[in-house]
Amino acid sequence: MKSGGVKGWARGAAVGALFAAALIDLAATHEVGHPLWRPVVVLTAGLTAILWPTARRPAWLTPQLRTTVPALLSLAYTASAYVPHHSAPFGPGELTVLLCLLFLAVRHCPPPWSVACAVLDAGALLATPLRYYGALPPGGTPGFTLVGLILIGVVAGLAAYLRSLDYRRTVAVADTRREERLAIAADLHDFVAHHVTGILVQTQVARMMATTRPDDLDPVLAGIERAATEALASMRRTVGVLRDTDAEADRRPVGDLAAITDLTEGFATPTQRMLLDRDPTLPDDLPHEVQAAAFRVVQESLTNVRRHAADATTITVRLRRADGGLEVVIRDDGRGGTQLPAAAHGGGFGLVGLRERVGALGGELRAGPATGSGPGWEVRARFPTAR
């Protein structure tokens, strides 16, 4: 039997047991000749509060109202029998309803109301023997009180435990959403900022070539068009993640070793040379998280070349084996000359994010002046590739 069918059967059995217990109360009341309308009112209010479908429950029917009104009616029923010293019966139906209301009060009522509603429900349950004032045998009330306290403790403890689980689940969901928002923000930075920076640099190149080499403008304009198209595609994928409707998104995981080739092919300006040196023995089935992190390292490094070393003439990207893992090296020969506006230089958090990504995988990242002779900057990342 499917889990949905089991839950439906259990829910139906519980509802049937509640109604059966309520009928026992009504039968006992009728047998002693006591008016039926009082237990009918109490049981109707309690069963309505418990069984009203959540989807059809009006906003005004709060947990506080659901758990207090039936308890107050039960106390009024007890007082109506106790004050004039008239014996009135009580049975399993009303007791079960009050225990269910106690459970709802502890688990679902807001913190300021939870204790008050639970005490009211427990008090109504413990007060029901007073209807037999003058008719109970000696010692009967203390025995019922002890059993009632045990039942109240078990029900309240179970409800409090489930409430703590609900709280932990809420905290976990909130933390997960926050982490996802941070991840989406990182994706926006890594993908969109890369393409937009490329558009800015190539636009500056086009403006310079418009007066000196107008015949060579077409490749530059094509590069601007390609970068703009890729930026829009990246934004569409990100929005698809936010909306959870990625039917039209690229099914290939964003950021792998194959994507590094696509990234480098359209990067260089007409005055630059882009070199990709990939070890032919490097396998394509490296762990996806390693491939994604390597792609982000290359992407952020190339973005920084455009931002801070637009005068570079040669940019080299190397992917190779090193100490049983993957080593990614990005190097340029720029001297730091750039004419980008200050607002386009970024906030300086790109390398911080890269170190977090690489460190989370057990790797290490170094960024600084290029080793050897000559100017330039070098970013070197190493990843363990053991699964």
Contact 304, 350 (CB under 8 A): yes
**Does the structure show a pLDDT above 50 at 381?**
yes
| Mean pLDDT estimate for the chain | 79
| Per-residue pLDDT band at 260 (split at 50, 70, 90) | confident
| Per-residue pLDDT band at 157 (split at 50, 70, 90) | very high
| Per-residue pLDDT band at 281 (split at 50, 70, 90) | confident
| Domains contained in the chain, CATH given | 12-136 (no CATH), 258-387 (3.30.565.10)
For the whole model, what pTM was predicted? Answer: 0.51
d(CA 106, CA 114) in angstroms, rounded, equals 5
**pLDDT of res. 6:** 63
User: Helices in the chain by DSSP H: which ranges?
Assistant: 3-31, 37-51, 63-82, 92-108, 111-127, 140-187, 193-212, 217-243, 257-265, 288-308, 350-360
**pLDDT of res. 203:** 76
Percent of the chain with pLDDT over 90: 22
Measured N-to-C along each axis, helices 350-360 and 288-308 cross at an angle, to the nearest 10 degrees, of: 160
Which of 349, 337, 348 lies closest to 377, judged by CA? 337
343 CB burial (10 A radius; 0-12, 13-18, 19+): exposed
**pLDDT of res. 251:** 42
**Does the structure show a pLDDT above 90 at 144?**
no
Higher pLDDT, 20 or 234: 20
**Does the structure show a pLDDT above 60 at 342?**
no
**Does the structure show a pLDDT above 50 at 245?**
no
Percent of the chain with pLDDT over 70: 77
d(CA 213, CA 220) in angstroms, rounded, equals 11
**pLDDT of res. 239:** 61
**pLDDT of res. 185:** 64
Contact 63, 104 (CB under 8 A): yes
**Does the structure show a pLDDT above 70 at 311?**
yes
Higher pLDDT, 169 or 97: 97
**Does the structure show a pLDDT above 60 at 248?**
no
**Does the structure show a pLDDT above 50 at 214?**
yes
What is the pLDDT averaged over residues 33-50?
Answer: 88
**Does the structure show a pLDDT above 80 at 184?**
no
Bridge partners of 369, per DSSP, are 377
Task: Give the best-scoring range by mean pLDDT among 37-46, 283-292, 335-344.
Answer: 37-46
What is the pLDDT averaged over residues 252-269?
Answer: 74
**Residue 129 CB neighbours (<10 A):** 19
**pLDDT of res. 84:** 65
| Per-residue pLDDT band at 137 (split at 50, 70, 90) | low
d(CA 52, CA 29) in angstroms, rounded, equals 26
| Per-residue pLDDT band at 118 (split at 50, 70, 90) | very high
